[in-house]
Amino acid sequence: MEWKTDWGLRGRMFLTMFLLFALYIVFVGAMAAFFPTRILPILVVMTLFLGAQFLFSDKLALWSMGAKEVSEEEYPELHAMVSRLSQQADLPKPKIAVADSRVPNAFATGKSPSSSAVAVTTGIMRTLNEDELEGVLAHELAHIKNRDVMVMTIASFLSTIAFVVVRWGWLFGGGRERGGNQAPVIVAILASLAVWIVSFLLIRALSRYREYSADRGGAVITGKPSALASALLKISGRMDQVPKEDLRDQAEMNAFFIIPIKSGIVGRLFSTHPSTEKRVERLRELERELET
């Protein structure tokens, strides 16, 4: 199979970033209107936060998951597998990290292909066979090749800022503004809530499409769509066997996992990923295309 640029993904990434940027301008404008004396420090803090998130996103993601970079001596087979798949994907070999966790999962991070990392859990290495693990790693390399990891990192910034304002709106000092008038801080919190909801929905829509694209890209790299389909089914099935406290600890990284951690109807409705059944069906269609 030949790797083809996914213009649908590119278009969605551009549209999402454009809309989030417009949302950011509106958000800053609202803050300037109601907190004119504090807009400069607010902008400085937001800019510094965005810069730090962009520059250190790979290290922050690995740290939050408890994943540690491993050497070739420690995991020779894993390194050999990633090296081979990176060559097939025409990518520089990413850093490799392992998280000691029973949750069977994997994710990719990094702001560019040359500064990327692929992390797997010990749980996923115990769960999958060699072909299935290759399919998962190829899926993560497809994310890196598509550069959607960087886009998701930037896109999540505004959502994070808005959520912080909603949760800690009192930090803006509404009670001390305009003679103790609470109206400005209430408006700021409502504006932030609206920004958070819109950015949340935009990110979810992009995240679901990027998973389909990475599934196809992973199948192109390995030439084995059925292996990735089998891996998805195995991982999804094992999630129910993992203790709930382990799932809660890692749920914040959902957008970057190959299978999200979710529960109940609400979890499925607002999931960062399409359903496993739909992903598997698309991979099986791809397998049929290969056979014919």
Show the tokens assigned to 40: 């400069």
The answer to whether 106 and 257 are in contact (CB under 8 A) is yes
Residue 252: pLDDT over 70: no
Determine the Cα angle at 267 with ends 262 and 269, to 5°. Answer: 135
Annotated domain spans of the chain: 7-291
Average pLDDT of the chain, as a whole number: 80
Query: Would residue 132 show up in a list of annotated catalytic residues for this protein?
Result: no
Residue 180: pLDDT over 60: no
Instruction: Please provide the distance, in angstroms rounded to a whole number, between the alpha carbons at the two ends of the chain.
Output: 12
Question: Could you read off the pLDDT of 32-73 as tens digits, one per residue?
Answer: 777 777 667 767 777 777 777 777 777 878 888 889 999 999
Binning the chain into helix, strand and coil, the percentages to the nearest 5 are 75, 5, 20
Residue 238: pLDDT over 60: yes
Residue 97: pLDDT over 90: yes
The pLDDT, as a whole number, for residue 156 is 72
Q: From the candidates 72, 73, 77, 140, give the one annotated as an active-site residue.
A: 140
Of all residues in the chain, the percent with pLDDT exceeding 70 is 76
Model-level pTM?
A: 0.81
Beta strand 67-69 pairing with 95-99: antiparallel
Nearest-10 crossing angle of helices 148-167, 183-222:
160
Show the tokens assigned to 151: 């886009």
Q: Which residue has the higher pLDDT, 181 or 12?
A: 12
The pLDDT, as a whole number, for residue 263 is 47
Q: Which residue has the higher pLDDT, 203 or 271?
A: 203
What is the C-alpha separation between 173 and 162, in angstroms, rounded?
16
Residue 186: pLDDT over 50: yes
